[in-house]
């Protein structure tokens, strides 16, 4: 099953793009400490000392369907507090490895890292009714894409070119592009699911390749891909639209266990530092709440899959 293929390239991207057999990649790649990526502190300080967010997702809802979803789940608050998943959903995952060269430092990830990351992703979703199947790995050598692409508007053209060239599948396939993010402090980004209605080709996740194999970045980004916001995105009120994530008004980094941070003291609960949708360290992030799972199920049925598991597109 060896294939070498030359995809269409826009003239602006003078890069060598080639697919390579996945197995060969893992033979060529030197193995690294699996924790190199995930133990790395998720925060960079720029010249002015601002903390750069580990996630570059724009969580603005563009479709009124998501806003209505927030309102409907909020109003059914008490009745549905004990949400137990009845439905199961399985999504395909296509790993799009975008590397500078054939070394690990250049982003050429070993297959074993991808397998381990898939297992971790599924462990994190245990009990939610949502699972992920690794269907393909597409390997591309492109130093320019590897080094330059991030979630910023300045790289929108590059991102679009990359997606148009490489993206596979429809509404039920999550394409995860592993990138270098050499010019940014973010570890990942995703589109929200309503984006699929407007621009299906742009529906994708990007993550820093060093967050594999055991990081929680892909879990966090998959949460956005299924409609979740950060618990702190809309301040104490209205918040993230999820009834059981305690209100939070600002990002928290690290893992301040025992500090009992409560950025919205007028509302119940301490800031949810252990939630997968936080900016805290990987080792600190352990779960989604039932309300988030309910939200994801509803977003899935609205944008990605119908009740019997057929793709919307």
Region 22-81 residues binding ligand NAG, contact defined as CB under 6 A: 58, 60, 62, 70-71, 74
Q: Does 55 bind Zn ion (CB under 5 A)?
A: yes
Would you state the structure tokens that stand for residue 294, as one six-digit string?
């309910």
Among 7, 154, 157, 238, binds ligand NAG (CB under 6 A): 238
Question: Please, what is the minimum distance in Å from the beta carbon of residue 207 to Zn ion?
Answer: 11
Rounded to an integer, what distance in angstroms lies between the CA atom of residue 295 and that of residue 293? 5
Active-site residue, 105 included? no
Choose between 55 and 176: whose C-beta lies nearer to Zn ion: 55
What do you get for the CA distance between the two ends of the chain, in Å?
29
Question: Please, what is the minimum distance in Å from the beta carbon of residue 150 to ligand NAG?
Answer: 12
Question: Please, what is the minimum distance in Å from the beta carbon of residue 100 to Zn ion?
Answer: 25
**Annotated active-site residue in 48, 119, 147, 221:** 221
Question: Please, what is the minimum distance in Å from the beta carbon of residue 54 to Zn ion?
Answer: 8
Q: Does 106 bind ligand NAG (CB under 6 A)?
A: yes
Q: Does 268 bind ligand NAG (CB under 6 A)?
A: no
Q: Which residues bind ligand NAG (CB under 6 A)?
A: 58, 60, 62, 70-71, 74, 100-101, 103, 105-106, 238, 241
Q: Annotated active-site positions, please?
A: 221
């Amino acid at each position: 099953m060896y294939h070498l293929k030359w995809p269409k390239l826009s003239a602006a991207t003078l890069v060598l793009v080639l697919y390579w057999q996945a197995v060969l990649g893992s033979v060529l790649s030197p193995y690294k400490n699996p924790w190199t990526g995930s133990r790395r502190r998720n925060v960079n300080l720029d010249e002015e000392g601002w903390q750069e967010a580990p996630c570059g997702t724009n969580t603005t809802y563009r479709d009124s369907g998501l806003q209505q979803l927030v309102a409907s789940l909020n109003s059914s608050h008490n009745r549905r507090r004990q949400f137990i998943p009845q439905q199961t959903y399985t999504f395909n995952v296509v790993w799009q490895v975008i590397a500078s060269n054939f070394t690990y430092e250049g982003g050429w990830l070993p297959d074993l890292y991808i397998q381990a990351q898939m297992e971790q992703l599924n462990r994190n979703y245990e009990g939610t009714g949502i699972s992920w199947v690794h269907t393909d790995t597409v390997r591309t050598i492109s130093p320019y894409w590897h080094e330059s692409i991030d979630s910023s508007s300045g790289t929108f053209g590059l991102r679009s070119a990359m997606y148009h060239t490489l993206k596979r599948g429809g509404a039920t396939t999550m394409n995860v592009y592993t990138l270098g993010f050499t010019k940014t402090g973010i570890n990942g980004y995703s589109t929200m699911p309503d984006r699929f209605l407007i621009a299906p080709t742009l529906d994708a996740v990007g993550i820093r390749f060093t967050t594999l194999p055991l990081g929680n970045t892909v879990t966090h980004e998959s949460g956005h891909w299924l409609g979740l916001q950060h618990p702190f995105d809309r301040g104490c009120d209205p918040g993230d639209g999820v009834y059981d994530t305690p209100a939070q008004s600002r990002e928290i980094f690290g893992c301040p266990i025992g500090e009992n941070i409560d950025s919205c003291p007028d509302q119940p609960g301490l800031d949810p530092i252990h939630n997968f949708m936080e900016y805290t360290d990987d080792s600190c992030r352990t779960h989604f709440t039932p309300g988030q799972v309910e939200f994801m199920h509803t977003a899935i049925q609205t944008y990605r899959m119908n009740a019997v598991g057929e793709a919307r597109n």
